[in-house]
Amino acid sequence: MLTSEAGKTIEKMYWGHVRAMSPAERMRDCFRMFQSFYSQAALRYQKEHPGIDERKLRIAMAKRLYGGDPRTRTLIEMAEAEQRERTNEH
């Protein structure tokens, strides 16, 4: 939360804009923000792990984003096991 008068004015304008949006517009903007965040995080991960294939990247990103949820973690672990099986088949 912003504390300066200018900051408070900007924040008030921002929330007024958000409240004026339709639910579909809010969802669209939320999805765009998520896409932007995901793209930036994936690029950073690829720089840390050069040559990572797309499937491994998707699993790694799922861990970062959803790994705290036990049910989702189980699904991620199943995807990892499937990836290992695919790798061992070749």
- The model's pLDDT over 17-55, given as tens digits with 9 standing for 90+, comes to 999 999 999 999 999 999 999 999 999 999 999 999 998
Q: Specify whether the CB–CB gap between 79 and 66 falls below 8 A.
A: no
Residues 29 and 59 in one domain: no
Q: How many domains does the chain have?
A: 2
The verdict on 54 and 90 lying in the same domain is: yes
81 lies in some domain: yes
Say if 39 falls within a structural domain. no
Q: What is the mean pLDDT of residues 4-17?
A: 90
Q: What is the full DSSP assignment across the chain?
A: ---SHHHHHHHHHHHHHHHHS-HHHHHHHHHHHHHHHHHHHHHHHHHHSTT--HHHHHHHHHHHHHTTSHHHHHHHHHHHHHHHHHHHH-
Examine residue 75 and state whether it is found in any structural domain, yes or no. yes
Among the listed residues 86, 22, 13, 29, the one whose alpha carbon sits nearest the alpha carbon of residue 55: 86
Q: State whether 56 and 86 are in the same domain.
A: yes
| Chain centre distance of CA 43 | 12
Co-location of 24 and 53 in the same domain: no
pLDDT the model gives residue 60: 92
Higher pLDDT, 90 or 62: 62
One domain for residues 65 and 90: yes
- Over 60: is that where the pLDDT of 1 sits? no
Domain membership of residue 55 as a residue range? 49-90
